Amino acid sequence: MSRLIFTFIALFSLAGCVNLNSVSLTQIPDDRSNLISAEAHDWLFLGLTSNNDFVDEAIDNLKSKCEGGKLQGILTKHQTTAYLLVFKREVIASGYCHKA
């Protein structure tokens, strides 16, 4: 019996279902030689949280990877992965960095 329960818990915990909440893309540049990406996420128990700070983290991470340059063609994905009672919210951003 305990084995069965363990199997169910393992199945539910590992089998995350992903919801793609939003996608956006900006103008793609001619020079596409330097693709950079960044992501930020947070974990929620029962979907409860009091802040959305992880969104700002993603932007800071992306910005820091192209200091003094231009970031264009930014693809932004906002997705949520649902595990058993736990949710992972993610912002994944990638773009082309151009430095003169």
Partner 1 sequence: MYKLMLMSAILLLGACARVDYVQLGDIDQSQGQLTPISVKVSQFAIEMAAVAEVGRHVATNSAARSQSQEIRDLLALINMGPRTGNPVFDDTYAENILDQLYQQCPSGNITGIRNIREAKTYGPVSGEIVRIDAFCIQSGN
Question: What is the pattern of x (binds partner 1, CB under 8 A) and - over residues 26-65?
Answer: xx-------------------xxxxxx--xx-xx--xx--
Query: Total number of residues binding partner 1 (CB under 8 A)?
Result: 34
Beta strands in the chain (DSSP E): 17-25, 35-45, 70-82, 86-98
Give kind and range of the element (H or E) at residue 62.
helix 54-64
Residues 6+ positions from 32 with CB-CB distance below 8 Å: 73, 96
Can residue 22 be called a binding residue for partner 1 (CB under 8 A)? Answer: yes
Can residue 87 be called a binding residue for partner 1 (CB under 8 A)? Answer: no
Min CB(13)–partner 1 separation in Å: 23
